[in-house]
Structure 1
Amino acid sequence: MVFTSAVWALALLSLPLFSCAKATIDQQIMSLENSNPGFLQYPTQLTQNVMPKFIHSHNDYWRDVPLLEAISLGVMSVEADVNLFNGTLFIGHENAALTPNRTFDSLYVQPLLQILNAQNPKTPFTVNQTTPNGVFDTASGTPLQLLVDIKTDGVETLPFILQALQPLRAGGFLTTFANGTLNTSAVTVIGTGNSPLEQVKALSPRDYFFDAPLTQLDDPSLNTTWDPTLSPIASTDYEVAVGWSGIGNISDAQLANLTKFVNDAHTRGIKARYWDTPAWPINARTNVWKVLMDNGADWLNVDDLEAASSF
């Protein structure tokens, strides 16, 4: 029997609606996303699928969007250069870079407070939660490290920084050492640059820590017992301490220095960071990163966050 097009059309019209092709799973997903039902969202999904990494965002305030760009790439440590002028903390490496609206509060404290409030919703499900979530949804117990590089006089500036941190302190979001106990929370604040060591040592309770000198941890003239309750990290200038350019082979002496200082920190429970590592040529930079990671350096101090996050 030969079917004409008209006969085919009549046959198709006579089929019941449920005999049409089944929706694929992609179509189901699209349908749900378009209808936007409430069960597709959850409160702490701001950093959904972001995997935290031991990367330090050097001069983080240089980013197009400070703090958020770093967090979006899983960067676990950021750095803010802080300058005190007329009672306000401004962000920038030097005076010519300062502007009235780029402050420690606007670029770091308030964004962190907003993120952490979102990551710690007040619901019937969280009534008995005693430890706040950090910024990373994939690892809520992982703290963000905030290095405060004081550029102005440290003794004068420190009280203003401690005051500026009050909103985070009030929320219970700051790592704190008190009564002999170190309580890790969502943000660990560490002073570097002109941060005054003796004033930081005297803080009780302490929620502003000190970036220890990586090459001087066994120097008795500093009259300091270095441990994580004072210094969660220790840092030094890579060029001075190691000096390998990343081109050719690292010498035995250079590698011995690198590992010695890392081991000095690790025996005290402190993480090690080398700053001012080579940035160019790119292959040299990558070679240095690999040697640092292979030999125990904890933090990768970088400017190119995207390259480091995929390293």
Structure 2
Amino acid sequence: MSPTHLLSICLLACGGVAAAAAPRPLPNAHAHNDYEHARPLADALDHGFNSVEADIYLVDGQLLVAHDREDCRPERTLRALYLEPLRKRIEANGGSVHADTPDFTLLVDFKSDGKATYAALHEQLAEYRTMLTRVDNGRRAAGPVAVIVSGNRPITMMASQRLRYAGVDGRIDDLSGHASSHLAPLISDHWPSYFKWTGQGEFPVEERAKLARIADQAHRQGRRLRFWATPENEAVWRALRTAGVDLIGTDDLDRLQAFLAADKPAQEKP
């Protein structure tokens, strides 16, 4: 019997645990509308993504994951699709989602009433507090998963809490405000509202400089930066990465994985 055949039998007997190497973690990769993939969360993790986005509605006391209200299904809960799988992975992984990467980001986009949805979310997150980044009396304690609330954000409600298990998804205007970095640890905004460039031709000098200024300002304040509605092409992704934008979003997991695995920001190139 050949060594290859013996190895195949061993892998089958072990349940295929060693059949495939773990994907290279990609700290900058964000799965936009992750729940629309065939295997929510699992597909993103298998591509090495370190951030996912889930739209939620509060329906009859349940946090249901869907893009539109009519698409809500009782079995597609935030708990079932994201919180429980993350808890199990962290336990199996020795305390992390991906090895040697920053906190995994779970971006929760509220589509229903902000205050009611957040009250339900806070109560549910308390059950998973040991795996979550939290803020207690203004002090941030990092955990394997950082939950960020976007969409209908009840900012005043969240800011008033002594103990929080989630942060707010800020906007570029917040960089000139007074929100603390632990309240708004992530700044996200609409790419076409700030930039006309779509990746065709050269990135205009003034827009390139604007992007660098925004990224620098966010980082000096201890915040991460993300844009949504960015054109899905390598030229834009390279410009985002070179400027230091922290999360690059996509619906095309394969394409962004291949790009990030092969590309390096300009400052890293020899």
TM-score bucket of the superposed structures, by smaller chain? 0.7 to 0.9
Which residue of structure 1 aligns with residue 176 of structure 2?
Answer: 218
Aligned CA RMSD, in angstroms, stands at: 2.5
Aligned 1:198-237 pairs, distance under 5 A: 198-219=156-177, 224-227=178-181, 229-237=182-190
Closer/same/farther in 2, CA of residues 77 and 35 from structure 1, 3 Å limit: closer
In structure 2, the residue matched to 1:134 is 96
Residue 117 of structure 1: which of 65, 74, 91 is its match?
91
Preserved CA contact (<8 Å) 1:215 1:261: no
Structure 2 gap ranges (5+): 260-270
User: In structure 2, what is the Cα distance between the partners aligned to 1:269 and 1:47?
Assistant: 37
- In 1, Cα distance between the equivalents of 2:119 and 2:58? 11
User: Secondary structure in 2 aligned to 1:255?
Assistant: helix
Summarize deviations over 1:241-283 as a string: whole Å, max 9, x none. Answer: 122111112222222221221111011011111110013xxxx
Deviation for aligned residue 1:167: 3.2
2:247 aligns to what? 299
The structural deviation recorded for 1:114 is 2.2
Q: What is the distance in 1 between the residues matched to 2:183 and 2:144?
A: 17
The reply to whether residue 176 of structure 1 matches residue 134 of structure 2 is yes
Distance 1:48 1:35, change over 3 A: closer
CA distance in 1, matches of 2:19, 2:71: 31
Q: Distance in 2 between matches of 1:207 and 1:247?
A: 41
Task: Tell me the equivalent position of 2:67.
Answer: 93
Equivalents in 1 of 2:244, 2:90: separation in Å?
31
Secondary structure, aligned partner of 1:146: strand
**Aligned match of 2:6 in 7, 27, 31?**
31
**SS of residue matched to 1:211:** strand
Question: What do residues 50-95 of structure 1 show as CA deviations (whole Å, max 9, x unaligned)?
Answer: 2211111001101010000001111000011010112111111111
Is residue 82 of structure 1 aligned with residue 56 of structure 2? Answer: yes
**Counterpart Cα distance in 1 of 2:238 and 2:210:** 16
The answer to whether the Cα contact below 8 Å between 2:147 and 2:166 also exists between their aligned partners in 1 is: yes
Amino acid aligned to 1:294 = T
Mapped to 2, the partners of 1:290 and 1:193 lie a distance apart of: 27
Which residue of the partner structure matches residue 197 of structure 1?
A: 155
Which of 148, 158, 164 is the aligned partner of 2:124? 164
1:152 aligns to 2:112 (yes or no): yes
Distance 1:248 1:297 in 2: 21
Q: Deviations over 1:211-241 (max 9, x none)?
A: 111243104xxxx3331x2222111001101
| SS class of match (1:165) | helix
Paired amino acid for 2:180: W
**1:166, CA displacement in angstroms?**
3.2
CA distance in 2, matches of 1:33, 1:184: 41
Question: Structure 1: where are the runs of 5+ without partners?
Answer: 1-22, 121-132, 280-284
Looking at structure 2, the residues matched to 52 and 104 of structure 1 have their Cα atoms a distance apart, in angstroms, of 23
Decide whether aligned partners of structure 1 residues 61 and 46 sit closer, same or farther in structure 2, where only a CA change above 3 A counts.
farther
Q: Is the 8 A contact 2:132 2:142 kept in 1?
A: yes
C-alpha distance in structure 2 between counterparts of 1:91 and 1:32, whole Å: 41
SS where residue 114 of structure 1 aligns?
Answer: helix
Following the alignment from structure 1 to structure 2, what is the Cα–Cα distance between the partners of residues 89 and 205?
A: 21
> What CA distance in whole angstroms lies between the structure 2 residues aligned with 1:46 and 1:209?
38
Partners of 2:11 and 2:19 within 8 A in 1: no
In the superposition, the TM-score normalised over structure 2's length comes to 0.87
Which of the residues 41, 46, 49 maps onto 1:72? 46
Distance 2:55 2:12 in 1: 43
Q: What secondary structure is seen at the aligned counterpart in 1 of 2:122?
A: helix
Of all paired residues, the percent bearing the same amino acid is: 30
| 8 Å contact kept, 2:187–2:224 | yes
- Change in 2 beyond 3 A, CA 1:47/1:203: farther
Distance 2:62 2:164 in 1: 22
User: Contact 1:151 / 1:193 at 8 angstroms: preserved in 2?
Assistant: yes
Question: What is the CA–CA distance in structure 1 between the aligned matches of 2:19 and 2:58, rounded to whole Å?
Answer: 32
Say if 1:47 and 1:72, in contact at 8 Å, map to a contact too.
Answer: no
Task: Report the secondary structure of 1:265's partner residue.
Answer: helix
The corresponding residue for 2:231 is 278
Moved over 3 A (4+): 27-30, 35-38, 45-48
Structure number with greater Rg is 1
Residues matched between the structures, number: 258
